Amino acid sequence: MSPARLLSALAAGLVFGFGLSLSGMLDPVRVRGFLDVGGAWDPSLMAVLGGAVTVSALGTLIQRRLARPAFDARFEIPAGRRIDPPLVIGSALFGIGWGLAGLCPGPAVAALSSGAVPVLVFVGAMAVGMGVHARVAGRRATGAS
């Protein structure tokens, strides 16, 4: 990886982590309050989600006008558009985990800096799950059982 690409990835990660921290997305109690639409709903993270969608939409508009990214030969855009069972199951598992733990992968990694035991457990479990998925997906790709 080139130094420019490495520095741009580091800068993007730092901005992302700072934004998560500033917005309260690292606080599982606040996130669960936002997800509790049937109870004591806390709508304060609606602005965070709205800002994320706005930035993403603007980024997509800019990306469509570019021939290639600044530090790579081409854009890595998924070709698949099909909604299949693995996508639905994965989305459901993500939502359940987010609701129970109040963390999703990005904020969880950023929250590691807090040293909180629940965050460490969550990230550890997430890493194990990613490893299991990689093994299962690898077996499917090679046809092994």
Domain that holds residue 97: 3-142
At residue 121 the predicted structure's pLDDT band, cuts being 50, 70 and 90, is very high
Q: What's the CA gap between 60 and 57, in Å, rounded?
A: 5
pLDDT of residue 139: 77
Residue 134, token pair as written in the block: 């990689």
Q: Residue 104's closest CA among 133, 128, 129, 126?
A: 126
What contacts 31, CB < 8 A, 6 or more positions away?
A: 24, 25, 45, 98, 102, 103, 107
What was the pLDDT predicted at 77? 86
What pLDDT was estimated at residue 144? 63
pLDDT higher than 60, residue 128? yes
- Split at pLDDT 50, 70, 90, the class of 145 is low
Number of folded domains that form the chain: 1
What digits encode the pLDDT tens for the residues 20-64? 888 888 888 888 888 888 888 888 888 888 998 999 999 999 999
What are the tens digits of pLDDT across the range 69-118?
A: 888 889 988 888 899 998 999 899 888 888 888 888 888 998 998 899 99
pLDDT in tens, 90-99: 899 888 888 8
**pTM for this prediction:** 0.72
